[in-house]
């Protein structure tokens, strides 16, 4: 089955009902996508399909056919948002971070705090209490964390 | 420029944010098998027969007969088997291990186990299986209680709490040099070594390596020894690498949780608010085996009188056995339970006396020179009043408290403290060691303390950088590999920065003297590599009696005051936290951003403990072992957390630092419940779910 992964066309021979998560991690060896719960609750396995964040543990591989999939590996090694997650300590243990970063990419220009909270509502973090994640995302979008409106 | 006190670039690098950091499940070894644990489906009984109902071709199958040494997970006691032999004491007890190349086939394998079922015991109040009993006595409680103007009584309950580290437990074991190497998600690689040596024999060649670990919170303190043992048995029998990764359900139903508690208070007070007698009874549900219950109970009891002075105090504690999976370490380690109880009791005392809760706390808060329940004389690094005053001032607590009356808004507070490092003589017994290696490029830190998100690598490197007066960037931190690093003790008890950091500071000071003014590179070029190793020396004034529980329980304490502001729906009892304020004193932050992360994260966990996280046990098994129905705070449940870090340097810590990791867990639950009480609901139990609040009487 063919799809576009991080900008390149790939062809993978896997069962159509395989989880996209396993295709990425096992068949393609891209282990940046993490499994936290396997039931779409924690968001650690978030990838973007045609730009939309999805839980790859809930996506049968057949649904990925012909789509444009972006995993954390597609962001390269020095995306400013990745850097901010480390500098602001939005990543502590780091297991939720790849999914969190991809989900945060959908946050638009000049977000309010509540825009960020809503965008990340499907991604659980047990370490940070989220505050440092908000600071990272707001800074990335050029908003001063102290000045972000919560409305 | 100094490194300590600045938000230097973290030693983690960028790997956690790019997905390159390798966690246990990311490891692949050639020829690797997938392991699975077959567990009991009853809470108590005896195994009658085991039937393998699948084609066993290509399978490796292990039961207790395959254990060459002792079939016990060696911890405080030696009572918990790696694999049940005949008796089943709890649901999800490991019985049999399977491994196969195909994960699909190993998961599909059916094993039928026939049991003779026995009557299980779930109610800790009915249990006579005492895992540990503790008595702390100070003064004459009965005489003082008799003279008190008023005696206030109360019973407080807390439920289980599940850690929900986002990375479930997992290890890979592989045959190596006639023995076995284990790579896994864990807090304490040397605990794993100890347990494996007991299981495989003292001469067994064992190496344990911590992989990047996706959260621990105590949940990866003792249980990884069990999983590592299982993977090692399968690897040794199959002569192949074996990976065992728990899925979320298995992790939630089978591994440890925070101990449920029932705490009874009787407090004698005078009309002016002085507390003259405290009588406290602590009951912890330990589950089916001892694991860490004795030390959880110990910390719980020592914190049970709260951050208050009282000349007559009696604390009796028991941890008892039930037929539920063993409870174990969880951030706070007994103190969140007992400090919840005393803090709600304090608000009830204030209400009984008709005084405000701040004034009652101000009058009774511990000050330098006061003695704790164990008779420890507190030193200058005692900040109960400072954190209380700052929290009250910053939140305008008294104004809001009056203003919110009769509205859907409410506010409450809690004052708390947390002993840093192992309890009593624990640090002396641990005898931790740390080592610095001079290398060609700089200096390498070689300790077994693990990075689990809290910033171990970074903080240690900052301390060494300043003590050695070399650039932070030239310091490397070795991966915890038991064949390489010194045994710096477990990564628990808020000891990694304060205790291990202090030993590293001493190593660095000694290395600086040895360098004689040369840089590490210059020294290496002339004389080659060398190492400095030091072991922990407790402060010389520390005295502790393990039998009477008297004197210096901890070298120092962190202090905190949390204020919770909530909005309550009076019809549905839905509680929306609006703002949390966390004022905490923990000596001095080594890395302020990491320290703030500990406070924000711990406060959010405490908020979940207070309002959301309910473990439903049915017939001894967790019935809601999924993140769908065991809910932890999401972004939408977590309000703004206003963090204030007060400084009061502790002379015994590296650059004045005290332990911090657990302190933030102690305050949120009582602050939230006291806010609910100020709203008019007589809450004495957590989690305070809407269902529970609907049953609480009005005040």
- Distance between CA atoms of residues B65 and B69, nearest Å: 10
Q: Choosing among B23, B166, B170, B458, which should be mutated to test the A contact, i.e. which has the most A CBs within 10 A?
A: B166
Contact A89 B594 (CB under 8 A): yes
- Average pLDDT of chain B is 97
- Please give the pLDDT value at position A12: 97
Beta strands A2-5 and A8-11, pairing class:
antiparallel
Contact B16 A97 (CB under 8 A): yes
- Please give the pLDDT value at position B114: 98
User: Which residue of A lies nearest to B631 if distances are taken between CA atoms?
Assistant: A41
Tokens 């500098």 appear where? A87
Q: Is the pLDDT of residue A150 over 60?
A: no
For B41, other C-beta atoms within 10 Å of its C-beta total 15
- How close, in Å, is residue A33 to chain B by CA atoms? 7
User: Region B468-487: what's the mean pLDDT?
Assistant: 97
The helix-helix angle for B501-515 and B456-468 (nearest 10°) equals: 30
User: Region B561-589: what's the mean pLDDT?
Assistant: 98
Rg of chain B over all Cα atoms, to the nearest angstrom: 25
The interface predicted TM-score (ipTM) is 0.97
Phi (first) and psi of residue B341, to 5 degrees: -65, -50
Q: Which of B348, B386, B337 is nearest to B159 (CA)?
A: B337
Instruction: Tell the burial category of B253 from Cβ atoms under 10 Å away from its Cβ (0-12, 13-18, 19+).
Output: buried
Q: Is the pLDDT of residue B687 over 90?
A: yes
Lookup: tokens for B419: 């002993």
Closest by Cβ to A131, choosing from B217, B600, B605 = B600
User: Region B207-224: what's the mean pLDDT?
Assistant: 98
B600 interaction partners in chain A (CB closer than 8 Å): 128-132
- Please give the pLDDT value at position B14: 95
Contact A36 B166 (CB under 8 A): yes
Contact A125 B626 (CB under 8 A): no
- Please give the pLDDT value at position B1: 76
- Please give the pLDDT value at position B538: 87
Could you tell me if A131 lies within 8 Å of chain B, comparing CB atoms? Answer: yes
- B-proximal residues of A, 37-76, CB under 8 Å: 37-39, 41-42, 44, 71-73, 75-76
- How close, in Å, is residue A67 to chain B by CA atoms? 22
- A-proximal residues of B, 146-205, CB under 8 Å: 163-168
- Please give the pLDDT value at position A146: 74
Instruction: Tell the burial category of B582 from Cβ atoms under 10 Å away from its Cβ (0-12, 13-18, 19+).
Output: buried
Which range has the worst mean pLDDT, B212-221, B422-431, B460-469? Answer: B422-431
Q: Is the pLDDT of residue B405 over 80?
A: yes
Chain A with chain B: Cβ pairs closer than 8 A: 177
The helix-helix angle for B293-302 and B335-353 (nearest 10°) equals: 30
- Please give the pLDDT value at position A151: 43
Could you tell me if B215 lies within 8 Å of chain A, comparing CB atoms? Answer: yes
H or E element that contains B150: strand B150-158
CB B47 within 8 A of CB B95: yes
Closest by Cβ to B17, choosing from A35, A97, A121 = A97
B22 interaction partners in chain A (CB closer than 8 Å): 31
CB B146 within 8 A of CB B140: no
Instruction: Tell the burial category of B370 from Cβ atoms under 10 Å away from its Cβ (0-12, 13-18, 19+).
Output: middle
Closest by Cβ to B601, choosing from A34, A85, A127 = A127
User: Region A11-21: what's the mean pLDDT?
Assistant: 97
Q: Choosing among A26, A92, A121, which should be mutated to test the B contact, i.e. which has the most B CBs within 10 A?
A: A92
User: Region B95-116: what's the mean pLDDT?
Assistant: 98
Non-local CB neighbours of B439 within 8 Å, separated by 6+ positions: B476, B520, B524, B529
- Distance between CA atoms of residues B197 and B180, nearest Å: 11
Q: Which of B437, B440, B435 is nearest to B530 (CA)?
A: B437
Domains in chain B, ordered, with CATH? 24-118+165-254 (3.30.365.10), 330-423+555-693 (3.30.365.10), 432-535 (3.30.365.10)
Q: Which of B432, B431, B464 is nearest to B445 (CA)?
A: B464
A88 interaction partners in chain B (CB closer than 8 Å): 593
* pLDDT tens-digit map of B136-168: 999 999 999 999 999 999 999 999 999 999 999
User: Which residue of A lies nearest to B251 if distances are taken between CA atoms?
Assistant: A37
Q: Which of B338, B392, B364, B368 is nearest to B557 (CA)?
A: B368
**pLDDT above 90: percentage of residues in chain A:** 92
- B-proximal residues of A, 85-114, CB under 8 Å: 85-89, 91-98, 101
Contact A36 B635 (CB under 8 A): no
- Distance between CA atoms of residues A130 and B225, nearest Å: 31
Q: Which of A12, A51, A57 is nearest to A39 (CA)?
A: A57
Contact B165 A93 (CB under 8 A): yes
Closest by Cβ to B248, choosing from A38, A95, A127 = A38
- Distance between CA atoms of residues B457 and B591, nearest Å: 11
Could you tell me if B12 lies within 8 Å of chain A, comparing CB atoms? Answer: yes
- A-proximal residues of B, 329-388, CB under 8 Å: none
Contact B10 A86 (CB under 8 A): yes
CB B506 within 8 A of CB B490: no
Non-local CB neighbours of B284 within 8 Å, separated by 6+ positions: B124, B259, B260, B261, B293, B296, B297, B300, B317, B318, B319, B320, B327, B334, B337
- Distance between CA atoms of residues B689 and B683, nearest Å: 11
- Distance between CA atoms of residues B516 and B348, nearest Å: 62
Could you tell me if B456 lies within 8 Å of chain A, comparing CB atoms? Answer: no
Q: Which of B499, B438, B513, B449 is nearest to B479 (CA)?
A: B449
Closest by Cβ to B167, choosing from A33, A91, A95 = A95
Lookup: tokens for B128: 């006579």
Contact A132 B632 (CB under 8 A): no
DSSP for A87-139 reads: HTT--SS-SSHHHHHHHHTT--SS--HHHHHHHTTT---SSS-SHHHHHHHHH
Could you tell me if A121 lies within 8 Å of chain B, comparing CB atoms? Answer: yes
A83 interaction partners in chain B (CB closer than 8 Å): 14, 17
* pLDDT tens-digit map of A111-132: 999 999 999 999 999 999 999 9
B216 interaction partners in chain A (CB closer than 8 Å): 93
DSSP single-letter state for residue B469: T
Closest by Cβ to B597, choosing from A36, A118, A128 = A128
A114 interaction partners in chain B (CB closer than 8 Å): none
- Please give the pLDDT value at position B65: 98
- Please give the pLDDT value at position A149: 56
- Distance between CA atoms of residues B652 and B661, nearest Å: 18
Non-local CB neighbours of A14 within 8 Å, separated by 6+ positions: A1, A22, A23, A27, A61
B330 — alpha (psi -120 to 50), left (phi > 0) or beta? beta
Could you tell me if A32 lies within 8 Å of chain B, comparing CB atoms? Answer: yes
Could you tell me if B453 lies within 8 Å of chain A, comparing CB atoms? Answer: yes
Beta strands B261-269 and B275-287, pairing class:
antiparallel
User: Region B187-191: what's the mean pLDDT?
Assistant: 98
- Please give the pLDDT value at position A147: 62
Lookup: tokens for A56: 């790859």
Domains in chain A, ordered, with CATH? 2-75 (3.10.20.30), 80-144 (1.10.150.120)
Residue A148 binned pLDDT confidence (cut-offs 50, 70, 90) = low
Non-local CB neighbours of B682 within 8 Å, separated by 6+ positions: B696, B697, B698, B699
Closest by Cβ to B453, choosing from A36, A37, A94 = A94
Non-local CB neighbours of B399 within 8 Å, separated by 6+ positions: none
B132 has which bridge partners? B319
- Please give the pLDDT value at position A40: 98
- How close, in Å, is residue B212 to chain A by CA atoms? 8
Q: Which of B63, B215, B280, B201 is nearest to B598 (CA)?
A: B215
Contact A95 B166 (CB under 8 A): yes
CB B358 within 8 A of CB B387: no
- Distance between CA atoms of residues B169 and B178, nearest Å: 26
Q: Which of A143, A131, A41 is nearest to B639 (CA)?
A: A131
The helix-helix angle for A131-140 and B592-611 (nearest 10°) equals: 120
- Please give the pLDDT value at position A78: 87
User: Region B647-657: what's the mean pLDDT?
Assistant: 96
- Please give the pLDDT value at position A77: 87
Q: Choosing among B18, B459, B594, B607, which should be mutated to test the A contact, i.e. which has the most A CBs within 10 A?
A: B18
Strands (E) located in B347-469 = 409-420, 433-438, 443-446
* pLDDT tens-digit map of B129-144: 999 999 999 999 999 9
A95 interaction partners in chain B (CB closer than 8 Å): 23, 165-167, 214-215
**Helix (H/G/I), strand (E/B), else coil: B476:** strand
User: Which residue of B lies nearest to A150 if distances are taken between CA atoms?
Assistant: B640
- Is it true that the peptide bond before B424 is cis, omega within 30 degrees of 0? no
A32 interaction partners in chain B (CB closer than 8 Å): 18-20
Strands (E) located in B159-240 = 170-176, 179-184, 206-210
Closest by Cβ to A132, choosing from B17, B600, B633 = B600
- Please give the pLDDT value at position B543: 94
């Amino acid at each position: 089955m063919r799809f576009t992964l991080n900008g390149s066309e790939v062809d993978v021979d896997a069962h159509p009902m395989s989880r996209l998560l396993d295709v990425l991690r096992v068949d393609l060896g891209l282990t940046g996508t993490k499994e936290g719960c396997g039931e779409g609750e924690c968001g650690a396995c978030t990838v973007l399909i045609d730009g939309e964040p999805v839980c790859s543990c809930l996506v049968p591989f057949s649904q990925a056919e012909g789509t444009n999939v972006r995993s954390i590996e597609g962001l390269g090694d020095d995306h400013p948002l990745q850097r901010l997650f480390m500098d602001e300590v939005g990543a502590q243990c780091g297991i939720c971070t790849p999914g969190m970063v991809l989900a945060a990419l959908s946050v638009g220009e000049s977000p309010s705090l509540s825009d960020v909270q809503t965008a990340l509502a499907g991604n659980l973090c047990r370490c940070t209490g989220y505050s440092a994640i908000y600071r990272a995302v707001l800074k990335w979008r050029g908003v001063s964390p102290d000045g972000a409106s919560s409305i | 420029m100094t490194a300590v006190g600045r938000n230097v670039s973290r030693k983690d690098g960028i790997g956690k944010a790019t997905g390159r950091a390798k966690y246990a499940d990311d490891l692949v070894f050639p020829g690797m098998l997938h392991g699975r644990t077959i567990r009991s489906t009853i809470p108590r009984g005896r195994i009658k027969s085991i039937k393998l109902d699948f084609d066993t071709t290509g399978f490796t199958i292990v039961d207790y007969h395959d254990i060459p040494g002792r079939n016990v997970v060696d911890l405080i006691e030696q009572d918990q088997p790696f694999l049940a032999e005949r008796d089943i004491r709890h649901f999800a007890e490991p019985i049999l291990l399977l491994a196969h190349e195909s994960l699909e086939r190993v998961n599909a394998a059916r094993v039928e186990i026939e049991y003779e079922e026995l009557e299980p015991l779930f109610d800790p109040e009915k249990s006579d299986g005492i895992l540990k009993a503790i008595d702390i006595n100070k003064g004459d409680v009965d005489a003082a209680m008799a003279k008190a103007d008023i005696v206030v009584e109360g019973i407080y309950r807390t439920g289980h709490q599940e850690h929900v580290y986002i990375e479930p437990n997992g290890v890979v074991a592989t045959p190596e040099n006639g023995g076995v190497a284990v790579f896994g998600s864990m807090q304490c690689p040397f605990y794993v070594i100890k347990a494996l040596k007991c299981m495989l024999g003292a001469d067994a060649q064992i190496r344990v390596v911590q992989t990047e670990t996706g959260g621990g919170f105590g949940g990866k303190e003792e249980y990884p020894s069990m999983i590592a043992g299982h993977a090692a048995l399968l690897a040794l029998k199959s002569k192949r690498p074996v990976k065992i990764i728990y899925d979320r359900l298995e992790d939630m139903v089978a591994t440890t949780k925070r101990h449920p508690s029932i705490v009874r208070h009787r407090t004698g007070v005078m009309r002016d608010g002085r507390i003259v007698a405290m009588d406290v009874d602590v009951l912890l549900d330990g589950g089916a085996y001892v694991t860490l219950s004795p030390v959880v109970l110990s910390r719980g009891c020592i914190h049970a009188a709260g951050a208050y002075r009282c000349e007559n105090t009696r604390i009796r504690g028991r941890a008892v056995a039930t037929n539920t999976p063993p409870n174990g370490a969880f951030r706070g380690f007994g103190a969140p339970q007992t400090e919840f109880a005393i803090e709600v009791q304090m608000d009830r005392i204030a209400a009984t006396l008709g005084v405000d809760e701040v004034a009652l706390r101000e009058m009774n808060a511990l000050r330098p020179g006061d003695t704790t329940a164990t008779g420890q004389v507190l030193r200058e690094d005692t900040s109960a009043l400072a954190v209380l005053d700052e929290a009250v001032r910053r939140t305008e607590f008294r104004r809001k408290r009056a203003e919110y009356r009769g509205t859907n808004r409410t506010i409450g507070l809690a004052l708390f403290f947390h002993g840093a490092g192992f309890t009593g003589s624990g640090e002396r017994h641990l005898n931790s060691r740390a080592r610095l290696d001079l290398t060609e490029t700089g200096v390498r830190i070689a300790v077994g303390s693990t990075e689990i998100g809290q910033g171990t690598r970074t903080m240690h490197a900052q301390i060494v950088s300043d003590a050695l007066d070399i650039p932070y960037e030239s310091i490397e931190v070795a991966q915890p590999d038991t064949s390489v690093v010194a045994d710096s003790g477990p990564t628990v008890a808020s000891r990694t920065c304060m205790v291990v950091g202090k030993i590293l500071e001493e190593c660095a000071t000694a290395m600086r003297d040895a360098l004689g003014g040369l840089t590490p590179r210059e020294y290496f070029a002339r004389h080659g590599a060398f190492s400095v190793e030091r072991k922990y020396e407790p402060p010389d004034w520390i005295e502790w009696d393990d039998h009477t529980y008297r004197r210096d329980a901890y070298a120092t304490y962190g202090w905190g005051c949390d204020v919770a502001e909530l909005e309550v729906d009076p019809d549905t009892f839905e509680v929306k936290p609006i703002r949390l304020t966390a004022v905490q004193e923990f000596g001095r932050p080594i890395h302020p951003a990491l320290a703030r992360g500990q406070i924000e994260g711990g406060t959010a966990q405490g908020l979940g403990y207070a309002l959301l996280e309910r473990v439903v046990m049915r017939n001894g098994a967790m019935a809601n072992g999924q993140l769908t129905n065991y809910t932890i705070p999401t972004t939408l449940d977590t309000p703004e957390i206003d963090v204030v870090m007060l400084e009061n340097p502790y002379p015994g810590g590296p650059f004045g630092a005290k332990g911090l990791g657990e302190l933030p867990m102690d305050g949120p639950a009582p602050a939230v419940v006291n806010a609910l009480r100020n709203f008019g609901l007589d809450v004495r139990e957590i989690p305070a779910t809407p269902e529970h609040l609907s049953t609480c009487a009005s005040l």
